[in-house]
Copies of this chain bind each other. A is one copy, B any other.
Amino acid sequence: MDSVKIGLAGAGTVGGGVCRVLNRNQEQISARAGARIEVKYVTCRHPENRSDLVPLVGSLGIDWHEIVEDPEIAIAVEAMGGIEPARSFILAAIDAGKHVVTANKALLAQHGDEIFDAAAKKGVIVAFEASVAGGIPIIKAMRESLVANRIQSVVGIINGTSNFILTSMRKEKISFAEALSKAQKLGYAEADPSFDIDGIDAAHKISILSSIAFGGPISFDKAYIEGIRDLQNVDIEFADQLGYRVKLLGITKRRGTGIELRVHPTLVPERRLLAHVGGVTNAVEVKGDAVGSTLYYGPGAGSEPTASAMIADIVDVVRMIGVSSNHQVPVLGYKRKIENVDVLPMGETVCSYYLRIGVTDSPGTLADVSRVFADMGISIESLIQKEAVAGQGSTSIVLMTHTAWEAAVQEAIRRIEALDCVTGKIVLLRKEELN
Protein backbone atom coordinates (compact mmCIF):
# COMPACT_ATOMS: atom_id res chain seq x y z
CA MET A 1 0.00 0.00 0.00
CA ASP A 2 1.10 3.55 -0.69
CA SER A 3 2.25 5.76 2.13
CA VAL A 4 1.74 9.51 2.34
CA LYS A 5 3.98 11.55 4.58
CA ILE A 6 2.70 14.58 6.40
CA GLY A 7 4.36 17.26 8.52
CA LEU A 8 2.55 18.75 11.47
CA ALA A 9 3.39 22.17 12.88
CA GLY A 10 1.98 22.55 16.37
CA ALA A 11 1.73 19.90 19.07
CA GLY A 12 -0.81 21.38 21.44
CA THR A 13 -4.29 20.05 22.10
CA VAL A 14 -5.15 19.83 18.40
CA GLY A 15 -1.81 18.61 17.03
CA GLY A 16 -1.54 16.00 19.77
CA GLY A 17 -5.03 14.78 18.93
CA VAL A 18 -4.12 14.38 15.27
CA CYS A 19 -1.10 12.22 16.18
CA ARG A 20 -3.06 10.13 18.67
CA VAL A 21 -6.07 9.44 16.45
CA LEU A 22 -3.96 8.76 13.34
CA ASN A 23 -2.00 6.25 15.38
CA ARG A 24 -4.88 4.59 17.21
CA ASN A 25 -7.10 4.22 14.13
CA GLN A 26 -4.34 3.70 11.60
CA GLU A 27 -5.83 0.49 10.27
CA GLN A 28 -9.35 1.95 9.83
CA ILE A 29 -8.01 5.11 8.25
CA SER A 30 -5.71 3.39 5.80
CA ALA A 31 -8.48 0.95 4.82
CA ARG A 32 -10.60 3.96 3.93
CA ALA A 33 -7.94 6.21 2.42
CA GLY A 34 -6.18 3.47 0.50
CA ALA A 35 -2.86 4.79 1.78
CA ARG A 36 -0.96 4.78 5.04
CA ILE A 37 -0.68 8.27 6.51
CA GLU A 38 2.60 8.79 8.33
CA VAL A 39 3.47 11.78 10.48
CA LYS A 40 7.10 12.30 9.45
CA TYR A 41 7.73 15.44 11.50
CA VAL A 42 6.03 17.26 14.30
CA THR A 43 7.40 20.67 15.19
CA CYS A 44 6.53 22.72 18.23
CA ARG A 45 8.11 25.26 20.54
CA HIS A 46 8.86 22.84 23.33
CA PRO A 47 9.37 19.34 21.94
CA GLU A 48 10.91 18.35 25.26
CA ASN A 49 7.42 18.57 26.79
CA ARG A 50 5.82 16.27 24.24
CA SER A 51 7.82 13.08 24.67
CA ASP A 52 4.45 11.29 24.70
CA LEU A 53 4.33 11.89 20.94
CA VAL A 54 7.72 10.30 20.22
CA PRO A 55 6.36 6.76 19.71
CA LEU A 56 3.60 8.07 17.42
CA VAL A 57 5.60 10.09 14.89
CA GLY A 58 8.77 10.02 12.82
CA SER A 59 10.55 12.83 14.57
CA LEU A 60 9.82 15.72 16.88
CA GLY A 61 11.55 19.05 16.27
CA ILE A 62 11.37 22.74 16.79
CA ASP A 63 11.68 24.30 13.33
CA TRP A 64 8.70 24.22 10.95
CA HIS A 65 11.00 25.02 8.04
CA GLU A 66 12.03 21.36 8.13
CA ILE A 67 8.51 20.44 7.06
CA VAL A 68 8.45 22.99 4.28
CA GLU A 69 11.85 22.00 2.95
CA ASP A 70 11.38 18.23 2.94
CA PRO A 71 10.35 17.12 -0.56
CA GLU A 72 8.96 13.86 0.87
CA ILE A 73 6.24 15.74 2.76
CA ALA A 74 3.06 15.96 0.67
CA ILE A 75 0.79 17.64 3.19
CA ALA A 76 1.60 20.39 5.69
CA VAL A 77 -0.76 20.37 8.65
CA GLU A 78 -0.99 23.62 10.62
CA ALA A 79 -2.10 23.27 14.23
CA MET A 80 -0.21 26.20 15.74
CA GLY A 81 -3.13 28.61 15.97
CA GLY A 82 -2.82 32.40 15.96
CA ILE A 83 -1.67 34.53 13.05
CA GLU A 84 2.10 34.21 13.08
CA PRO A 85 4.03 32.03 12.46
CA ALA A 86 0.99 30.05 11.21
CA ARG A 87 0.55 32.36 8.20
CA SER A 88 4.22 32.18 7.23
CA PHE A 89 4.27 28.40 7.61
CA ILE A 90 1.20 27.95 5.41
CA LEU A 91 2.38 30.35 2.72
CA ALA A 92 5.83 28.73 2.66
CA ALA A 93 4.29 25.26 2.43
CA ILE A 94 2.09 26.35 -0.46
CA ASP A 95 5.06 27.92 -2.17
CA ALA A 96 6.86 24.59 -1.82
CA GLY A 97 3.95 22.90 -3.62
CA LYS A 98 2.49 21.19 -0.58
CA HIS A 99 -1.18 20.79 0.20
CA VAL A 100 -2.26 22.38 3.47
CA VAL A 101 -4.71 21.33 6.20
CA THR A 102 -5.49 23.86 8.92
CA ALA A 103 -7.94 24.47 11.76
CA ASN A 104 -7.07 28.15 12.04
CA LYS A 105 -10.26 30.21 11.76
CA ALA A 106 -8.69 33.46 12.96
CA LEU A 107 -6.04 33.21 10.26
CA LEU A 108 -8.52 32.32 7.51
CA ALA A 109 -11.00 35.00 8.56
CA GLN A 110 -8.28 37.63 8.31
CA HIS A 111 -5.84 36.31 5.70
CA GLY A 112 -7.91 33.69 3.88
CA ASP A 113 -7.94 35.55 0.57
CA GLU A 114 -4.13 35.82 0.51
CA ILE A 115 -3.74 32.12 1.39
CA PHE A 116 -6.37 30.91 -1.06
CA ASP A 117 -4.92 33.02 -3.88
CA ALA A 118 -1.48 31.57 -3.26
CA ALA A 119 -2.89 28.02 -3.22
CA ALA A 120 -4.82 28.60 -6.46
CA LYS A 121 -1.66 29.79 -8.21
CA LYS A 122 0.21 26.66 -7.10
CA GLY A 123 -2.73 24.32 -7.73
CA VAL A 124 -2.60 22.94 -4.20
CA ILE A 125 -5.46 22.33 -1.78
CA VAL A 126 -6.05 24.29 1.42
CA ALA A 127 -8.52 22.32 3.55
CA PHE A 128 -10.03 23.78 6.71
CA GLU A 129 -12.99 21.68 7.90
CA ALA A 130 -11.77 21.91 11.51
CA SER A 131 -11.79 25.71 11.46
CA VAL A 132 -15.55 25.92 12.02
CA ALA A 133 -17.54 23.90 14.56
CA GLY A 134 -14.79 21.39 15.39
CA GLY A 135 -15.89 17.85 14.62
CA ILE A 136 -19.07 18.83 12.78
CA PRO A 137 -18.57 18.49 9.01
CA ILE A 138 -20.27 21.78 8.22
CA ILE A 139 -17.77 23.01 5.62
CA LYS A 140 -18.11 19.84 3.55
CA ALA A 141 -21.89 19.83 3.94
CA MET A 142 -22.16 23.38 2.64
CA ARG A 143 -19.44 23.22 0.01
CA GLU A 144 -20.36 19.86 -1.45
CA SER A 145 -23.66 18.46 -0.19
CA LEU A 146 -25.79 21.58 -0.66
CA VAL A 147 -24.42 22.70 -4.05
CA ALA A 148 -27.87 22.40 -5.63
CA ASN A 149 -29.28 25.06 -3.33
CA ARG A 150 -29.54 28.77 -3.30
CA ILE A 151 -28.62 29.12 0.38
CA GLN A 152 -30.98 31.40 2.29
CA SER A 153 -29.45 31.47 5.75
CA VAL A 154 -26.84 29.92 8.01
CA VAL A 155 -27.44 30.26 11.72
CA GLY A 156 -25.24 28.58 14.28
CA ILE A 157 -24.12 28.07 17.84
CA ILE A 158 -20.44 28.07 16.94
CA ASN A 159 -18.69 29.09 20.12
CA GLY A 160 -18.76 26.38 22.76
CA THR A 161 -17.39 28.59 25.56
CA SER A 162 -20.23 31.09 25.22
CA ASN A 163 -22.81 28.37 24.93
CA PHE A 164 -21.50 26.74 28.09
CA ILE A 165 -21.71 30.07 29.94
CA LEU A 166 -25.25 30.78 28.67
CA THR A 167 -26.40 27.27 29.56
CA SER A 168 -24.96 27.60 33.07
CA MET A 169 -26.44 31.07 33.61
CA ARG A 170 -29.90 29.75 32.77
CA LYS A 171 -29.80 26.37 34.48
CA GLU A 172 -27.99 27.38 37.65
CA LYS A 173 -29.24 30.98 37.82
CA ILE A 174 -25.69 32.25 38.23
CA SER A 175 -24.29 35.51 36.91
CA PHE A 176 -22.16 35.89 33.80
CA ALA A 177 -19.04 36.36 35.96
CA GLU A 178 -19.76 33.20 37.95
CA ALA A 179 -20.48 31.16 34.83
CA LEU A 180 -17.29 32.41 33.18
CA SER A 181 -15.28 31.48 36.23
CA LYS A 182 -16.82 28.01 36.19
CA ALA A 183 -15.99 27.63 32.48
CA GLN A 184 -12.40 28.65 33.21
CA LYS A 185 -12.09 26.11 36.02
CA LEU A 186 -13.35 23.36 33.71
CA GLY A 187 -10.96 24.35 30.93
CA TYR A 188 -13.75 25.55 28.64
CA ALA A 189 -12.60 29.16 28.72
CA GLU A 190 -9.13 30.65 28.47
CA ALA A 191 -7.50 32.91 31.04
CA ASP A 192 -8.21 35.78 28.62
CA PRO A 193 -11.65 34.75 27.37
CA SER A 194 -12.39 37.83 25.27
CA PHE A 195 -12.18 36.13 21.84
CA ASP A 196 -14.91 33.76 22.90
CA ILE A 197 -17.20 35.87 25.06
CA ASP A 198 -16.98 39.00 22.91
CA GLY A 199 -18.09 37.11 19.81
CA ILE A 200 -14.84 37.44 17.83
CA ASP A 201 -14.34 33.69 17.48
CA ALA A 202 -17.95 33.17 16.37
CA ALA A 203 -17.53 36.04 13.89
CA HIS A 204 -14.43 34.40 12.40
CA LYS A 205 -16.43 31.24 11.85
CA ILE A 206 -19.64 32.73 10.51
CA SER A 207 -17.58 34.90 8.12
CA ILE A 208 -16.07 31.73 6.65
CA LEU A 209 -19.48 30.04 6.40
CA SER A 210 -21.03 33.15 4.86
CA SER A 211 -18.46 33.15 2.12
CA ILE A 212 -19.14 29.48 1.35
CA ALA A 213 -22.89 30.06 1.44
CA PHE A 214 -23.04 33.08 -0.83
CA GLY A 215 -19.85 33.06 -2.85
CA GLY A 216 -18.30 36.36 -1.79
CA PRO A 217 -14.91 37.00 -0.15
CA ILE A 218 -14.44 36.38 3.58
CA SER A 219 -15.80 39.58 5.14
CA PHE A 220 -14.91 39.32 8.81
CA ASP A 221 -14.08 43.04 8.83
CA LYS A 222 -17.70 43.82 7.91
CA ALA A 223 -19.39 41.57 10.48
CA TYR A 224 -21.46 43.09 13.26
CA ILE A 225 -20.18 41.61 16.53
CA GLU A 226 -21.73 41.72 19.98
CA GLY A 227 -20.75 39.27 22.73
CA ILE A 228 -22.37 38.04 25.93
CA ARG A 229 -20.29 39.94 28.50
CA ASP A 230 -23.13 42.30 29.44
CA LEU A 231 -25.92 39.73 29.48
CA GLN A 232 -27.98 39.75 32.67
CA ASN A 233 -29.91 36.91 34.30
CA VAL A 234 -33.08 38.97 34.39
CA ASP A 235 -33.22 38.96 30.59
CA ILE A 236 -32.57 35.22 30.40
CA GLU A 237 -35.50 34.78 32.81
CA PHE A 238 -37.82 37.07 30.84
CA ALA A 239 -36.87 35.22 27.67
CA ASP A 240 -37.73 31.94 29.39
CA GLN A 241 -41.14 33.28 30.39
CA LEU A 242 -41.75 34.28 26.78
CA GLY A 243 -40.77 30.79 25.51
CA TYR A 244 -37.24 31.59 24.32
CA ARG A 245 -33.66 30.60 25.12
CA VAL A 246 -30.81 33.08 24.80
CA LYS A 247 -28.02 31.79 22.54
CA LEU A 248 -24.96 33.46 21.04
CA LEU A 249 -25.61 32.94 17.34
CA GLY A 250 -23.56 33.54 14.25
CA ILE A 251 -26.03 34.55 11.56
CA THR A 252 -25.67 35.14 7.85
CA LYS A 253 -28.62 35.61 5.50
CA ARG A 254 -29.30 36.47 1.94
CA ARG A 255 -31.37 39.59 1.44
CA GLY A 256 -32.41 41.26 -1.81
CA THR A 257 -29.72 43.89 -1.59
CA GLY A 258 -26.89 41.95 0.02
CA ILE A 259 -25.83 39.70 2.84
CA GLU A 260 -26.45 40.01 6.57
CA LEU A 261 -23.47 38.97 8.70
CA ARG A 262 -23.76 39.28 12.45
CA VAL A 263 -22.98 37.73 15.84
CA HIS A 264 -25.02 38.59 18.91
CA PRO A 265 -26.96 37.05 21.81
CA THR A 266 -30.27 35.96 20.34
CA LEU A 267 -33.66 34.76 21.56
CA VAL A 268 -34.43 31.36 20.00
CA PRO A 269 -37.91 29.78 20.37
CA GLU A 270 -37.68 26.79 22.67
CA ARG A 271 -39.50 24.58 20.14
CA ARG A 272 -36.48 24.77 17.78
CA LEU A 273 -33.69 22.20 18.00
CA LEU A 274 -31.08 24.96 18.34
CA ALA A 275 -32.67 25.97 21.65
CA HIS A 276 -31.84 22.51 23.03
CA VAL A 277 -28.16 22.58 22.13
CA GLY A 278 -26.54 23.00 25.53
CA GLY A 279 -23.07 23.15 27.08
CA VAL A 280 -20.00 23.31 24.85
CA THR A 281 -21.79 21.62 21.95
CA ASN A 282 -22.20 23.38 18.61
CA ALA A 283 -24.91 23.22 15.98
CA VAL A 284 -25.44 24.94 12.64
CA GLU A 285 -28.71 25.27 10.75
CA VAL A 286 -28.46 25.78 7.01
CA LYS A 287 -31.48 26.62 4.89
CA GLY A 288 -31.52 26.15 1.15
CA ASP A 289 -34.30 26.71 -1.37
CA ALA A 290 -34.35 23.05 -2.47
CA VAL A 291 -33.44 21.12 0.68
CA GLY A 292 -35.27 23.29 3.20
CA SER A 293 -33.85 23.34 6.72
CA THR A 294 -30.96 21.07 7.70
CA LEU A 295 -29.05 21.01 10.98
CA TYR A 296 -25.61 19.70 11.93
CA TYR A 297 -24.80 19.06 15.58
CA GLY A 298 -21.76 17.89 17.51
CA PRO A 299 -18.69 18.84 19.52
CA GLY A 300 -17.40 22.25 18.47
CA ALA A 301 -13.94 21.93 19.91
CA GLY A 302 -11.64 19.58 21.78
CA SER A 303 -8.61 17.55 20.90
CA GLU A 304 -10.06 14.52 19.16
CA PRO A 305 -13.18 16.08 17.58
CA THR A 306 -10.91 18.66 15.94
CA ALA A 307 -8.48 15.90 14.96
CA SER A 308 -11.41 14.00 13.41
CA ALA A 309 -12.10 16.93 11.09
CA MET A 310 -8.42 17.50 10.24
CA ILE A 311 -7.83 13.84 9.42
CA ALA A 312 -10.92 13.85 7.18
CA ASP A 313 -9.31 16.75 5.32
CA ILE A 314 -6.00 14.90 5.15
CA VAL A 315 -7.72 11.85 3.63
CA ASP A 316 -9.57 14.05 1.11
CA VAL A 317 -6.22 15.53 0.10
CA VAL A 318 -4.55 12.12 -0.07
CA ARG A 319 -7.18 10.99 -2.58
CA MET A 320 -6.52 14.00 -4.80
CA ILE A 321 -2.71 13.79 -4.84
CA GLY A 322 -1.61 13.65 -8.45
CA VAL A 323 -4.96 14.85 -9.79
CA SER A 324 -5.07 18.09 -11.79
CA SER A 325 -6.31 21.02 -9.70
CA ASN A 326 -9.32 21.68 -11.92
CA HIS A 327 -10.87 18.55 -10.39
CA GLN A 328 -10.63 19.96 -6.86
CA VAL A 329 -13.62 21.24 -4.94
CA PRO A 330 -13.30 25.06 -5.12
CA VAL A 331 -11.81 26.36 -1.88
CA LEU A 332 -14.86 28.40 -0.87
CA GLY A 333 -17.31 26.36 -2.93
CA TYR A 334 -17.54 28.62 -5.99
CA LYS A 335 -15.38 28.56 -9.11
CA ARG A 336 -16.54 32.09 -9.98
CA LYS A 337 -18.41 34.92 -8.28
CA ILE A 338 -21.95 35.18 -9.54
CA GLU A 339 -23.91 37.96 -7.89
CA ASN A 340 -23.90 40.85 -5.48
CA VAL A 341 -22.91 39.41 -2.16
CA ASP A 342 -21.67 42.48 -0.33
CA VAL A 343 -22.27 42.59 3.41
CA LEU A 344 -24.99 45.06 4.44
CA PRO A 345 -24.37 47.64 7.15
CA MET A 346 -25.98 46.61 10.45
CA GLY A 347 -28.56 49.40 10.18
CA GLU A 348 -29.99 47.73 7.07
CA THR A 349 -30.47 44.41 8.86
CA VAL A 350 -34.04 43.27 9.46
CA CYS A 351 -34.73 41.53 12.73
CA SER A 352 -37.25 41.29 15.53
CA TYR A 353 -36.32 42.55 18.96
CA TYR A 354 -36.61 42.02 22.70
CA LEU A 355 -36.35 45.27 24.65
CA ARG A 356 -36.30 45.89 28.38
CA ILE A 357 -36.98 49.47 29.32
CA GLY A 358 -36.65 50.78 32.87
CA VAL A 359 -39.41 53.33 33.55
CA THR A 360 -40.79 55.34 36.43
CA ASP A 361 -44.03 53.94 37.76
CA SER A 362 -46.24 56.81 36.64
CA PRO A 363 -49.37 57.20 34.51
CA GLY A 364 -48.84 57.63 30.78
CA THR A 365 -45.45 55.93 30.67
CA LEU A 366 -46.58 53.06 28.46
CA ALA A 367 -48.41 55.48 26.17
CA ASP A 368 -45.28 57.63 25.75
CA VAL A 369 -43.09 54.63 24.97
CA SER A 370 -45.64 53.10 22.59
CA ARG A 371 -45.98 56.39 20.73
CA VAL A 372 -42.28 56.33 19.78
CA PHE A 373 -42.56 52.83 18.32
CA ALA A 374 -45.67 53.85 16.39
CA ASP A 375 -43.89 56.93 15.03
CA MET A 376 -40.98 54.78 13.86
CA GLY A 377 -43.32 52.27 12.19
CA ILE A 378 -42.26 49.50 14.58
CA SER A 379 -45.00 47.09 15.51
CA ILE A 380 -45.17 45.53 19.00
CA GLU A 381 -45.78 41.77 19.11
CA SER A 382 -46.12 41.26 22.86
CA LEU A 383 -45.56 43.14 26.06
CA ILE A 384 -44.91 42.44 29.74
CA GLN A 385 -45.13 45.29 32.19
CA LYS A 386 -43.45 44.15 35.37
CA GLU A 387 -45.07 45.24 38.62
CA ALA A 388 -43.41 48.04 40.48
CA VAL A 389 -41.43 47.15 43.57
CA ALA A 390 -43.24 48.87 46.44
CA GLY A 391 -41.63 52.17 47.36
CA GLN A 392 -39.05 52.16 44.56
CA GLY A 393 -41.24 54.01 42.09
CA SER A 394 -39.69 52.22 39.09
CA THR A 395 -40.62 49.24 36.94
CA SER A 396 -39.68 47.53 33.67
CA ILE A 397 -41.46 47.28 30.39
CA VAL A 398 -40.40 44.19 28.47
CA LEU A 399 -41.57 43.97 24.90
CA MET A 400 -41.02 42.04 21.68
CA THR A 401 -41.32 43.73 18.30
CA HIS A 402 -42.30 42.33 14.94
CA THR A 403 -39.54 42.49 12.33
CA ALA A 404 -38.15 45.96 11.87
CA TRP A 405 -35.11 47.71 10.45
CA GLU A 406 -32.21 47.80 12.88
CA ALA A 407 -31.69 51.50 12.13
CA ALA A 408 -35.33 52.27 13.01
CA VAL A 409 -35.06 50.34 16.27
CA GLN A 410 -31.82 52.11 17.22
CA GLU A 411 -33.47 55.47 16.54
CA ALA A 412 -36.51 54.44 18.62
CA ILE A 413 -34.19 53.49 21.49
CA ARG A 414 -32.44 56.85 21.26
CA ARG A 415 -35.78 58.65 21.45
CA ILE A 416 -37.17 56.49 24.24
CA GLU A 417 -34.04 56.86 26.36
CA ALA A 418 -34.56 60.63 26.07
CA LEU A 419 -38.06 60.40 27.64
CA ASP A 420 -38.37 61.70 31.21
CA CYS A 421 -40.17 58.55 32.34
CA VAL A 422 -37.31 56.26 31.20
CA THR A 423 -34.55 55.38 33.64
CA GLY A 424 -31.17 54.17 32.42
CA LYS A 425 -30.11 52.30 29.30
CA ILE A 426 -32.50 50.12 27.35
CA VAL A 427 -31.50 46.46 27.05
CA LEU A 428 -31.78 45.18 23.46
CA LEU A 429 -31.62 41.54 22.39
CA ARG A 430 -32.41 40.26 18.91
CA LYS A 431 -34.72 37.37 18.15
CA GLU A 432 -34.69 34.72 15.42
CA GLU A 433 -37.81 32.64 14.93
CA LEU A 434 -35.94 30.19 12.63
CA ASN A 435 -39.13 29.26 10.81
Contact = CB atoms under 8 A, between A and B. Distances in A.
Interface of A: 17, 21-22, 24-25, 27-29, 31-34, 129, 135-137, 140-141, 144-150, 215, 273, 276-277, 288-299, 302, 304-305, 307-309, 311-312, 315-316, 319-320, 322-323, 326-330, 333-338
B149 A308 contact: yes
A409 to B, nearest CB: 32
Given A31-B335, A31-B336, A312-B147, A292 B299 contact: yes
Given A273-B297, A276-B276, A304-B291, A32 B334 contact: yes
A21 B290 contact: yes
A311 B290 CA distance: 10
A137 B147 CA distance: 11
A316 B27 CA distance: 27
A350 to B, nearest CB: 23
Nearest to A299: B292
B298 A295 contact: yes
Majority secondary structure of chain A interface residues (helix, strand, loop or mixed): mixed
A312 B34 contact: no
Contact of A148 (B25, B322, B326, B327): B25
Nearest to A339: B27
B338 A308 contact: no
Q: Residue among A305, A309, A320 with the most chain B CB within 10 A? A: A305
The 10 closest A-B pairs by CB, nearest first: A137-B145, A148-B311, A294-B298, A135-B291, A291-B308, A295-B297, A290-B304, A290-B308, A34-B335, A31-B338
A107 B376 CA distance: 60
Nearest to A293: B298
Nearest to A27: B338
B336 A290 contact: no
A298 B137 CA distance: 15
Contacts of A312: 144-148
B319 A292 contact: no
A255 B114 CA distance: 48
A245 to B, nearest CB: 13
A307 B148 contact: yes
A288 B276 contact: no
Nearest to A305: B291
A141 B144 contact: no
Given A135-B292, A298-B291, A338-B28, A34 B330 contact: yes
Contacts of A290: 17, 21, 25, 135, 304-305, 307-308, 311
